[in-house]
Chain A
Amino acid sequence: MLRIEALPEPSRTMALAAPLIATGITILISSLFFLSLGFNPIDTLHGFFVQPLMSLNGLSEWLLKASPLIIIACGLAIGFRANVWNIGAEGQLILGAIAATGIGLFAPWQDSVFLLPSMIAGAIMAGMAWAAVPAFLRSRMNTNEILVTLMLTYVATLFLSYLVHGPWRDPAGFNFPQTALLPYKATFSVFDHSYRLNSSIFFAIAAVIITWFFLERSFLGFRMSVGGVAPNAARYAGFRSSTAIWVGLLAGGAAAGLAGVGEVAGPLGQLSAHISPGYGFAAIIVAFVGRLHAVGIVLGGLLLSLLYLGGETVQLQYGLPSAIANIFQGLLLFFLLGGNFLINYRIRRIR
């Protein structure tokens, strides 16, 4: 008979090993999956996980895609630590992208060096504003933020669709649902014109450093974590839950908004109906894969980004839908959540 026992203290070894085990099992299952489709698993896995990294362009794309994931996951982790469940980063990203594009295209200071900085500020504020709605409703009316952030994501998507199909559509764009291209001054400069990687990657680095200091060293970060782990202890100590709610949601909103400007002023260069391949949702996985820790988030972001690239590669080479990247994302999160169990419990055979 098997019995589940709680460990007296969380296992540190397992805390490090669990994500690795989860990744390993995901890779194993995906190779079985490819095998069942009649593809050589070694080739497909190579196509999925190795090939994208074998060229400078691949590396550039890898970091380019990892960057929004890492930025958003950093912001979300701050909220998740406090049990504030913002799962609408996708909508906050869209609002950020809309604000940035609006400023980039229509601001009167088109020639100013402040054009891009004002877009960044506008995007962050738009993301925060979108997140402020659930923050206000949760702290004042005790409304569940999960549902509100989600509903607002649909609203944001529809609003974006309205803009690019209607008032903001590029008149010279052959009726495509997209805006005009942003002017040069309204985009991040690339490091090399052959590759799309651009200076917005520095925001990801900054986000990781800030998040690390906030979560591991700041007193506010500590207070928020206490609110997440032991809400009664936070109330007992007089840590306000409304602070945690506001900070948690606004951090996620700001990060998502920042990721939004990184997309439109980076690789995309314009606003279109599909500006994000689900970065806002995938970032939730990144935050969990990284165990809500800044360093873990970097690794998780790089891993998920690789899954996206791999999905594109196998789509091109094997004609499989890119949605299978979602299968692997889902699997990875499943195994990771299952693996967390081993950190706090052990299974023992008795008699």
Chain B
Amino acid sequence: MPPRLELSGINKAYPGVIANDNISFSVQPGEIHAVLGENGAGKSTLMKIIYGAISADSGEIRCDGKLIKEHGPAVSRGLGIEMVYQHFALFESISVVENIALSMPDRMNLPALSAEVRTISKKYGLPIDPNALVLSLSMGERQRVEIVRCLLRNPKLLILDEPTSVLTPQAVQILFETLRQLAQEGCSILYISHKLDEVRTLCHTATVLRGGHVTGRVDPSAASASKLARLMVGHELEEVSRPATQKSKKPLFEVRELRLAAANAMDTALQNLNMEVFGGEIVGIAGVAGNGQNELAAAMSGETVNSDPDAILLESRPVAHLDAGQRRDLGFGFIPEERLGRGAIPPYPLSENALLTAHRQGMTTLGFTKRHRAKDFAAQVIRRFRVKANGPDSIASGLSGGNLQKFIVGREIHLSPKVLLVSQPTWGVDVGAAAYIRQTLIDLSRSGKAVIVISEEVEELFEVCDRLYVMSDGKLSQSIDRKTANIEDIGLLMTSGAEYDYRETNIA
């Protein structure tokens, strides 16, 4: 029997970066095949090429032994290749069943399709309400919609791109059950991930990518974690060092009974949040995507202004009514999860990106900018934080993700804030830069500052934080000391809202 999928010599280059370099491997029917690699290793590009959403520069793709010539998503679906995107391809303003209808070839018959959706979701343990509007669904539920949408088409090959980032540890186990059931029925699964333990639990074989090319093919359950890591990263992982710390007497930053109504149907309302952060410590906020972390970050940073000044205190001073600029004047710093377009202005040089938040450092007189000051500042950040860039005149969008993140982190730390909030510090950042950024945050806290880290990666929080809060469905848990916590307990807290959903949305 020919392999279900066979890649030979796939190449894809973008200006300035080779995303895929001569990639070849094959997937057998009924095999769960992992594509393992760090952020930026070229996994997502490769999957989109397999699916036909983007075209390779060269190389061949065979499905069941037949060469695919003119490729495209429609061709894929004709062949039984289905893909669950990392960022879901769902439309929020229409219902689940309408979303599914849009990707079915037949004429639209919503009642019949709803019945099919119910059947499939029962069979694979993926409860969803076909008539719900997508905008009312949690990220986990949206993923179920995506998977059901694929399953309705009887796929022969199912591609999942980092599916667990939106799931609680418990929901991950349920997903794995579904995938194993599918594989037993003969469906091949391509499982893209950067998480070693998941791949080792689930997958039969793994292809490891680094820097766009294949660095190894292994049996993940047999290979040691350190061997996999070495293949992924190219060297041994560096441990961050977390020296002992002296907490300040009074908290530098407090959130008191913060409430915030959802601005629109896609947002999560914040319900009575309480939190305090002392100087000298790093506090983490864990949680599955879409449980109110973005709203909380905006409320803390001042991008969303609150009418009750006392909901947020900076050095015991009410600041919740102040905007982001005014909070920065008082010593607050913020690194958002989106680099391009929020933390940095893509088409502008680094010097003007320095001006964005560092203008308070004497970069203006009488309303005019002192451009040499901005350049000096940018040059200092580039030097101090080892940003790979051709000086302060480099355009922000021309930097790699890791380097731009280093610049933004560097810019904010160089401003020596008293309290620094960081959201997803290492998203889309290569391993080396990620370790460096984590260490930098720890060092900042050890100099007596308060650091708050919001992350969806519990492992990351365990690595850097002294204390943790868990966010679920717009609520914050009690403070948890990292030393006494374990990942399973945190997972349960993350689930409290989502798990509830899971049981309640049982299908009729």
Q: Do chains A and B touch in the complex (CB under 8 A)?
A: yes
Within 8 Å by CB of B359, from A8, A219, A233, lies: A219
| Cβ 8 A contact of A226, one of B328, B345, B364 | B345
A226: min CB distance to chain B, Å: 6
Given contacts A232-B338, A232-B342, A236-B303, contact A8 B357 (CB under 8 A): no
Most buried by A among B355, B369, B397: B369
Say if the beta carbon of B324 comes within 8 Å of chain A: yes
Q: How many residues of A contact B (CB 8 A)?
A: 24
Find chain A residues with CB under 8 A from B323 CB: 238, 240
The answer to whether B301 has its CB under 8 Å from any CB of chain A is: yes
Chain A hits for B357, CB < 8 A? 236-237
Residues of B within 8 A of A238 (CB): 302, 323-328
B348 at interface by CB-CB < 8 Å = yes
What are the residues of chain A within 8 A of B355 when measuring CB–CB? 219, 222
Is A40's CB within 8 Å of the partner chain B? no
Asked if A230 and B16 sit within 8 Å, CB to CB, the answer is no
Interface string of A2-23 (1 = CB under 8 A from B): 0001111110000000000000
Q: Indicate if B243 sits at the interface (CB-CB under 8 A).
A: no
Known interface pairs A219-B359, A219-B369, A232-B338. Does A237 touch B346 (Cβ–Cβ under 8 Å)? no
Given A8-B397, A8-B398, A236-B336, A217 and B341 touching (CB < 8 A)?
no
| Identity of the chain B residue whose Cβ is nearest the Cβ of A346 in the assembled complex | B15
Residue of B nearest to A220 (CB): B367
- Chain A residues in 8 Å Cβ range of B341: 230, 232-233
A235 / chain B contacts, CB cutoff of 8 Å: 303, 324, 342
Number of B interface residues, CB 8 Å?
36
Q: Are A222 and B352 in contact (CB under 8 A)?
A: yes
Contact A233 to B324, CB < 8 A, known contacts A7-B15, A8-B15, A8-B16:
no
Q: Report which residue of B302, B342, B346, B352 has the largest number of chain A beta carbons within 10 angstroms of its beta carbon.
A: B342
User: With the chains together, A172 CA to B395 CA distance in Å?
Assistant: 65
A155 contacts the other chain (CB 8 A): no
B356→A237 contact, CB < 8 A: yes
Whether B368 lies near A218 (C-beta < 8 A) is: yes
Please state if A222 and B369 are interface contacts (CB–CB under 8 Å): yes
Q: Is A210 an interface residue (CB 8 A)?
A: no
Q: A136 on the interface (CB 8 Å rule)?
A: no
Contacts of B347 in A (CB 8 A): 10, 229
Q: Give Cα distance in the complex from A238 to B369, angstroms.
A: 17
Whether B334 is near chain A, meaning CB under 8 Å from some CB there, is yes
Looking at the assembled complex, report how far the CB atom of A247 sits from the nearest CB atom of chain B, in whole angstroms: 12
Known: A8-B16, A233-B341, A236-B301. 15 other contacts (CB 8 A): A5-B15, A6-B15, A217-B369, A218-B368, A219-B363, A219-B364, A219-B367, A219-B368, A226-B345, A229-B346, A232-B338, A235-B303, A236-B334, A238-B328, A240-B323
